[in-house]
Chain A
């Protein structure tokens, strides 16, 4: 997410970096680019104006212009101001709530309320909570069924009364939760326009009936300049405690939704970053800003890795690395672990320095390629997987036929694997740079194998990660 914005800003910074002295013209040129980048990211016109003015005021300070690293100083100013724009608050639900906690989802049609409800249910269940979901959307055809199906997939109970009265449905769910001991009630509502009086009144009635502690406004990251108006109206009429930014796994820059934070004054609570029910994350302003500025988002990566990696497995693996016993079997289980972390592209985007690299179209990491690599390994015998050295020409032909690939692809994989093993052995013995808690192995190798048909250049993607 935010790649296009970060690329634009990075480009500006590239021209600033390394400048010994900055002239006011240079700063103005950079500001113009930032202004365009933000406008194209749908950041509200007035927010952009104020933002650029603030950065200009601070950047034109003689102390900055004359300092030893004026470019870096400007970058820092932009970073500070962006952080201010996003708001300081960390995401999540409100701190204090009566039991059962009631969460109400509101927003326009198609913003992703129903999916978000199910994702939050799953998220809460993972924290050891017991959520109960209910749909009050009696308008959109099959909306109630949709939540029921999602509830089943997420393994979350869905309260499904007979009544078609939205207020009664919500109230019934609260009573049910109290009676059966659910600690959270997630109330999905029908999408509605903020100017639809009748529906806004209905929402108000639902709110008054269940007294939610959390009112989450679900906003599509792709939304445009109108976002402020609708979010503001929902906040004024119903009240909003947090924003959930959905569909951030696309290339949307979410500028409008972020303007909501600074104009309406409501923090972003969660971000939805994929189609799987697991793809809901707490919002961390500092991490997003770092990513926008191309500084990577290592913390989120580590969290993802921690979720996906089995601790014992990782330790066993490290031991193997140390002894140089890393086999194709281990490689395959690494591939599968990485797959669990989500689409390769989103994972790579979090690695510092790789933000730029993703631009290289021919190097685009492809989940399909990973599947091919996995197929090749699966077509080997257990002996072959344990000792790749025994795979001769005839075996390679058989493996290629078995996996529906070509001998060249098998060759390439084996070559890359050998290379990888060599590097891993070095890391294993020399002690690898600590990436952080729980991260025992850089997920880098997949990158190298994910680009067949392209000779890996020296200092290529993998080289980058390795040296970090």
Chain B
């Protein structure tokens, strides 16, 4: 099952309403008589509502609407214009994963509480293992009750090694240990689960900085990748989260989880637009296989597919 099917599967429920709505708008705007005329106020407003309701955010919505407005007179399909505009936003930041040949490759997973970091690590370990790698997971969430146990269960399911610490231990030291042990055992990449933290808590954020520094001491250039896990249901606060985590922890990409609900994860568009951060993976279910690499083309296609 490829990205497209999986995403479509998850998004089918998701997008039904947004899509019906969109369909109604474009049906009106796409007929040939209408295409010759400039877009009317009702259509613009409906489009705005559609995008805002998908959490795309005010700035990105304005850009999309403006672009559509400007070009619509040329007789192009409204649907294609919107799709194209969103794809452009994603493609402007669609960079390949940052691999610099360093071994072991260290990936830090960060985010606020409850977005699905631990679950994502489990799925990611499984995904990497399936592609022939030998990942090692590191349980550096020493704060939340039973977080380490949760990751242990995931590690067992994905059949990967885990380096864990006692609750309350210093997370940075666990990371150091994990990198050492990973190198000794020939494990690569190393996936580090960190405690959820609100991006406004200065103390907790500086702990991330410490983890970074300690990781860099253990192996050159680490962490090589920092993934911010965002819940697809998150609203405009997702932007604030991405901004702060990027400032402190140097986020290199986004993982969008819980796309199997009715939330559209439109914040991904806002983040790509405002912060130029690429989306790396999307989580589309509770199963261990339900994490897939993100593809802007397929995402937008799936979002605006005519018939399911």
Contacts and interface: CB of A to CB of B under 8 A. Distances in A.
Interface in A1-55: 36, 39-42, 44-46
Given A145-B146, A226-B55, A230-B262, A220 B231 contact: yes
A371 to B, nearest CB: 10
A330 interface: no
B131 interface: no
B75 interface: no
A367 B235 contact: no
Given A45-B53, A110-B114, A149-B146, A222 B200 contact: no
Interface string A116-159: 00000000000000000000000111110110111001000000
B261 A194 contact: yes
B98 interface: no
B150 A222 contact: no
Interface string B187-213: 000000000001111110000000000
Nearest to A41: B236
Contacts of A247: 112-114, 198
B112 A250 contact: yes
A259 B258 CA distance: 21
Given A42-B235, A225-B53, A195 B58 contact: no
A384 interface: no
A223 B113 CA distance: 12
B220 interface: no
Nearest to B267: A224
A252 B244 CA distance: 13
A223 to B, nearest CB: 5
Nearest to B59: A40
Given A40-B58, A110-B116, A226 B262 contact: yes
Interface in B15-74: 49, 52-55, 57-58
A40 B59 CA distance: 9
A44 B53 CA distance: 7
Contact of B149 (A142, A224, A256, A367): A142
Majority secondary structure, B binding face = loop
A230 B233 contact: yes
A249 interface: yes
Contacts of B238: 222, 224
Given A149-B146, A195-B261, A220 B233 contact: yes
Contacts of B152: 141-142
A145 B149 contact: yes
Given A39-B52, A366-B202, A142 B233 contact: no
Contacts of A189: none
Nearest to B204: A275
A217 to B, nearest CB: 14
Using C-beta atoms within 8 Å of the partner chain, give the interface range for chain B.
35 or more
A184 interface: no
B261 A45 contact: no
B169 interface: no
Q: Which of B112, B113, B200, B237 has the most CB atoms of chain A within a 10 A radius of its CB?
A: B237
Contacts of B133: none
Interface string A100-118: 0000000011111000000
B53 A249 contact: no
Contacts of A42: 55, 235-237
A225 B261 contact: no
Interface in B256-299: 258, 260-264, 266-267, 286
B149 A251 contact: no
B234 A367 contact: no
A268 interface: no
Interface string B222-257: 000000000101111110110000000000000000
A224 B203 contact: no
Interface in B139-164: 144-147, 149-150, 152-154
B236 A224 contact: yes
A39 B58 contact: yes
A224 B55 contact: yes
B171 to A, nearest CB: 15
B115 interface: yes
A367 B203 contact: yes
A222 B52 CA distance: 15
A15 to B, nearest CB: 20
A112 to B, nearest CB: 6
Contacts of A68: none
Nearest to A346: B200
Given A226-B264, A256-B235, A110 B115 contact: yes
A344 to B, nearest CB: 11
B183 to A, nearest CB: 28
Contacts of B198: 247, 249-250
Interface string A230-262: 100000000000000001011111011000000
B13 interface: yes
Q: Which of B152, B200, B235, B238 has the most CB atoms of chain A within a 10 A radius of its CB?
A: B235
Q: Which of B116, B145, B167, B238 has the most CB atoms of chain A within a 10 A radius of its CB?
A: B145
B235 A140 contact: no
A46 B267 CA distance: 19
A256 B237 CA distance: 11
A193 interface: yes
Contacts of A194: 261-262
Given A193-B260, A222-B112, A227 B233 contact: yes
Contacts of B233: 108, 220, 223-224, 226-227, 230
Given A112-B113, A112-B114, A146-B144, A141 B263 contact: no
B200 A109 contact: no
A229 interface: yes
B202 A224 contact: no
A193 B261 contact: yes
A252 B237 contact: yes
Contacts of B54: 225
Contacts of A140: 150
A368 interface: yes
Contacts of A225: 52-55, 235
A132 B154 CA distance: 30
A224 B265 CA distance: 9
17 contacts: A42-B235, A42-B236, A44-B53, A45-B49, A110-B115, A145-B146, A153-B145, A193-B258, A193-B262, A195-B13, A195-B262, A220-B114, A223-B235, A251-B200, A251-B237, A252-B240, A253-B236
Interface of B: 13, 49, 52-55, 57-58, 112-116, 144-147, 149-150, 152-154, 167, 198-203, 231, 233-238, 240-241, 258, 260-264, 266-267, 286
State the 6 A-B residue pairs at the shortest beta-carbon distance, nearest first. A110-B114, A224-B235, A42-B235, A149-B145, A141-B153, A226-B263
Given A141-B149, A195-B13, A251-B200, 13 more contacts: A142-B152, A145-B146, A146-B150, A150-B145, A222-B112, A222-B231, A222-B238, A224-B233, A225-B55, A227-B235, A230-B262, A249-B201, A250-B112
